[in-house]
Amino acid sequence: MSSQILVVAALGRPFTLGTLYDARKVRLIPGFTLWEDDVLQANTVESRQPSSAFEIIASDSIEDKSSLMDIEASLKASFLGGLVEVGGSAKYLDDRKKFKNQSRVTLQYKATTSFKQLMTNLETKHVEYSEYFQNLEATHVFIGILYGANAFFVFDSAKTESSNVQDIQGSMEAAIKKIPSVEISGKGEVKLTSEDSAITSGFSCKFHGDFFLPSNPTTFEDAVQTYQQLPQMMGKENAVPMTVWLVPLVNFYSEAPKLMADSSTPILRKVRNTLEAMRELEMRCNDALEDNTVKLFPLIEKKLNNFKNFFGDYMLNLRRTIAEKLQSIRSGSENESAMLQLFQENLKSPFNIDSLNMWMDCAEREINVLRSCIDIIEEARHKVVLSESEMFRELLDPNVKHAVCYVFTFVTDQDPFLNVLSDFLDSPTSKPKKLRPSTKDYWYISDDIPEMMRAKAHHFRNLALDMDNRCVRFLVASIGNPKQEGAGIHYYREGIQIIDEFTKPWIPPVETIQDRRELLWCDCELTLDPDTAQPALTLSEGNKKAVSGTAKPFDNQQRRFQCYQQVLCNKGLSRRHYWEVEWSGYVRAGVTYKGISRRTWNQDSSLGHNKISWVFDYFPKSGYNHIFDAKKTKVNVSSPGFKKLGIYLDWPAGTLSFYMVDTIWVTHIHTFKARFQEAVFPAFLIGHGPDNGQIKLL
C-alpha cells in the first residue's frame, strides 16, 4: 500500500504541487513543501485539458453525490466520519434534504482546464528540509493536479405528501433538463412556457460552485441565467484543484511515516450504509416534526425533539469513533476487526438502526391516529388549545356558559424507550435495559383504542355542528388521564368540569326550565333581514335593532312587507334554537313560515293572524297575549313591563316557548305546540299606527 500512487478528489482543499499530506488523517500539512520553489517551477509541466459536462441526478444519497464528484470509497468514509472539511463546490456534499417527503433534483456543470504535474526524474538529492521529516506527520506529497471547476444547482420542492414526491420529482427533472436550451431575451429575461413557469415557480435553488458570482441564484430563472454564463467564466482565475495525485514520501525518505493499510471495500460499505441509514432516520424525524398534527401537540413535539437530540448525540460520538478507527487502521495501530467491533457494539446498543426505526414507526403511528381524529373534527367549529392553561383561559371567558372539550388523554412526552436511550448515553458501557421498543408500552398499537377515539371524534363533530353558537365553545386539548383510555369528551359549565364522558346536552321540559344556562345550549345569533323590513322600520347596529317611525321611500323588493310594520330575521330555523330580544312599546315576536303574505292589508298578512305564524304580543295599553290563527289569548306575567324576552324553538319536538329573562334565571310564559312542516323564520311586528315600538336582538 505504501508504494501506491493515490488519486484523490480535492473537495475544495487548497492543494499545490510539492505540498505534504497525511493520508492517515486525510489532512494537508501546511507550511512545508518537499522541494524549493525554483526546483518545483523547473520541474513542473502543464498541459491543457479542456472539457465540460452536464449531468442531472434526482438522488440525494452520499453514494450518488460521491459518484458525481469522483470521490473514491476511502475518502467518502473519511468525509462521513468527519475527517474532511470540504470547501467550494464540495459543500454540496453537506447540503442534504431536510425532509424525506421532499423532491430534490441537482444539475451539475463540470469543466476542466489544465493538468499540472511534477517530472518523475526528481530524486532524493533535490529534496529539501529532510531533517524535518522525523517530526512531520506526513505520508505523501502532491505530484499532479487537475484543474477545473464544479457547479451544482440544487433544486428543492416544498415538503409534500409522500404520495406526490415521485410525481413532483419527475416534473422537476423534465424542467431542469431544458436549462441548457432555454432562451434568454435581449433584455435578459428567461423565456419559459406557461406550463414550465407554473412547474418551476415552486422550486427553490441553492448554488454550490467554484465560481465567484455577484449573487447566488435562488430561483429557477436565476439558475438558467447563471448556468448559461458559466462557460464564459471559465479560465485560470476560476480554475481550482479538482483531482490530485500523490506519491508516498517513503519514495524520497525511507523513514517517513507510511499509510499502512486502508479499510476494505466491505468495511467502507458498512460505514456508508450505517451512516446513510441514520441520515434517512433523521429526515423521517424532521418530517414528523413539521407535521401540522404534531404542531398541535407540544408533548409529541417534545418527545420527537428528545429522540432527535439523543440520536444526534449518539451520531456525533459514532462519527468521531469511526474517524478514530479509520486513522488507526491507516496508521497500522489497529486492524479492520476494530471497526467490525464498533459495528457489533452498535448492534448490541439501543441505538441500532432497527430499534430506532421501530421507535420511529411507533411515533408515526401515534401521529397518524391523532391526525385521523383531528381530520374528523376538522369539519366542525372548534379551537385547539396547546396547553392546560390556555384551555382554562378559554373556559373562564365570561361569554362561555358551556364548553365541550375533546380531550386526548394518553398523549404524553414520557416514553420508556427514550429513557433507555438517555441512560445509554449517560453510561454507554453498561448493559441497556432493553434493545428495542416494547410495543405493549404504546396504546396506539392496538386497534381498539384508536377506533374508540375516532368514534368519539365523530360524536364530538356532530355535537359541534348541531350547536354552532356563541355560548357553547368546542375545544380540543391534550390532558393526561391514565384512567380514561385514549380520549374523552369533557363537559364544563362556566369553567367547572361536570362530566368527562359527555354525550349530549340535557334540556328539561320547556315548562320547567328556570336556569337560563340550559337554554343557552341552543343560543342562536340572528340579524334582521333589511330586504324584508317594512318602510316605516329603521334598522341599525348591524341589523340587530329595529325602531318604528315614519315610512320612507322603498324599492319594490318582493320579500319586503309593504303594509304591516313587520320584519323577518336572516335565516330559517329547523333545529333547536334559542334567542333573546330586548323590546319596548308595541311589539309582537315569534316565528313564521317564509310564505306569509307581504303586500296586502288582509288580516292574514299580520303575524299571528294565520296558520303559519306563532307570536307573543305586548301592547302597553292592554298587556300580553299569545296569538295563533287570529286567536288572541291574554297572558298574565309575574313581572309586567319586563324588558328581555327569551324565545326557544324546539323544531323537532314541535314547540315554541317564551320566557321572561333575568340575569341567570328565566320564567316560562307560554309554549305553542305545533307540527312544523318547514323551516321557520324569527319575525317581529314593531309598532302600529301611532303606537311605536322597538326591538334589539341580543
Q: pLDDT tens digits for 50-59?
A: 999 999 998 8
> For residue 1, is it within any domain?
no
Residue from 390, 278, 422, 259 nearest 343 by CA: 278
Q: What pLDDT is attached to residue 606?
A: 95
Are 238 and 287 members of one domain?
no
> For residue 508, is it within any domain?
no
* pLDDT score of 238 more than 50: yes
What percentage of the chain reaches a pLDDT higher than 70?
96
Are 253 and 336 members of one domain?
no
DSSP type of residue 569: B
Residues β-bridged to residue 523: 578
* pLDDT score of 399 more than 90: no
Single residue among 239, 259, 279 that ends a domain in this structure: 259
Q: What is the mean pLDDT of the chain?
A: 90
> For residue 337, is it within any domain?
yes
Residues β-bridged to residue 569: 528
* pLDDT score of 535 more than 50: yes
The tens digit of pLDDT for each residue in 104-161 reads: 999 999 999 999 998 866 655 555 555 656 667 889 999 999 999 999 999 998 877 7
Choose the weakest-confidence range: 75-79, 195-199, 404-408, 633-637. 195-199
Residue from 557, 511, 564 nearest 683 by CA: 564
User: What value does the CA radius of gyration of the chain take, rounded to a whole number of Å?
Assistant: 40
Query: Mean pLDDT, to the nearest integer, of 262-271?
Result: 87
The tens digit of pLDDT for each residue in 157-204 reads: 887 776 677 888 888 888 888 888 877 766 567 777 788 788 888 888
Question: 590-616: string of b/e by CB count within 10 Å (b at 16+)?
Answer: bbbbeebbbeeeeeebbbbbbebbbbb
Contact 648, 656 (CB under 8 A): yes
3-state class percentages of the chain: helix first, strand second, coil last, to nearest 5: 35, 30, 40
Residues 27-32: contacts with CB under 8 Å, at least 24 apart? 27/83, 29/136, 29/137, 29/138, 32/129, 32/132, 32/136, 32/138
Are 178 and 246 members of one domain?
yes
Q: What pLDDT is attached to residue 304?
A: 97
What do you get for the CA distance between the two ends of the chain, in Å? Answer: 91
Are 304 and 399 members of one domain?
yes
Choose the weakest-confidence range: 129-133, 445-449, 649-653. 129-133
For the sheet with 613-619, list strands across it: 566-568, 681-686, 587-592, 613-619, 623-628, 631-635
Residues 6+ apart with CB under 8 A from 250: 2, 3, 256, 258
What CATH number does the domain containing 542 carry? 2.60.120.920
Are 546 and 446 members of one domain?
no
Choose the weakest-confidence range: 132-146, 201-215, 403-417, 472-486. 132-146
DSSP string computed for 330-378? HHTSS-HHHHHHHHHHHHTSTTSHHHHHHHHHHHHHHHHHHHHHHHHHT
Contact 142, 171 (CB under 8 A): no
> For residue 266, is it within any domain?
no
Task: Give the H/E segment covering residue 390.
Answer: helix 388-395
The tens digit of pLDDT for each residue in 665-693 reads: 999 999 999 999 999 999 999 998 778 99
How many other β-carbons are positioned within 10 Å of the β-carbon of residue 100? Answer: 18
Single residue among 216, 233, 259 that ends a domain in this structure: 259
Matching residue, cell 368527562: 500
> For residue 474, is it within any domain?
yes
Distance from C-alpha of 146 to C-alpha of 112, rounded to nearest angstrom: 7
Are 291 and 426 members of one domain?
yes
> For residue 526, is it within any domain?
yes
Distance from C-alpha of 521 to C-alpha of 544, rounded to nearest angstrom: 21
How many other β-carbons are positioned within 10 Å of the β-carbon of residue 299? Answer: 17
Single residue among 213, 232, 259 that ends a domain in this structure: 259
Distance from C-alpha of 669 to C-alpha of 623, rounded to nearest angstrom: 13
- Choose between 264 and 686: higher pLDDT: 686
Range of the domain at 482: 271-499
DSSP type of residue 515: B
Confidence of residue 1 (pLDDT cuts 50, 70, 90): very low
Q: What pLDDT is attached to residue 134?
A: 64
Are 252 and 393 members of one domain?
no
Query: Mean pLDDT, to the nearest integer, of 546-550?
Result: 92
Are 284 and 412 members of one domain?
yes
Distance from C-alpha of 347 to C-alpha of 292, rounded to nearest angstrom: 34
Cell numbers found for residue 95: 447540503
Instruction: Report CA torsion sign: 224, 228, 229, 234.
Output: positive
The tens digit of pLDDT for each residue in 314-368 reads: 999 999 999 999 999 988 899 989 999 999 999 999 999 999 999 999 999 999 9
Cα distances (Å, whole numbers) of residue 405 to 32, 321, 582, 639: 73, 51, 32, 38
Query: Mean pLDDT, to the nearest integer, of 2-18?
Result: 87
Are 239 and 336 members of one domain?
no
Q: Where are the alpha helices (DSSP H) in 81-176?
A: 165-176
The vertex-196 CA angle with 194 and 202, nearest 5°, equals: 110
The vertex-216 CA angle with 215 and 222, nearest 5°, equals: 100
Q: What pLDDT is attached to residue 305?
A: 97
Are 255 and 293 members of one domain?
no
Domain count, the chain: 3
Choose the weakest-confidence range: 119-133, 247-261, 413-427, 511-525. 119-133
Residues 435-438: contacts with CB under 8 Å, at least 24 apart? 435/348, 435/349, 435/350, 435/352, 435/355, 436/350, 436/354, 436/355, 436/358, 437/355, 437/358, 437/359, 437/362
Q: What pLDDT is attached to residue 90?
A: 93
* pLDDT score of 236 more than 80: no
Q: What pLDDT is attached to residue 435?
A: 82
Are 162 and 195 members of one domain?
yes
Cα distances (Å, whole numbers) of residue 90 to 4, 81, 99, 262, 568: 26, 16, 21, 23, 74
Are 108 and 236 members of one domain?
yes
> For residue 95, is it within any domain?
yes
> For residue 509, is it within any domain?
no
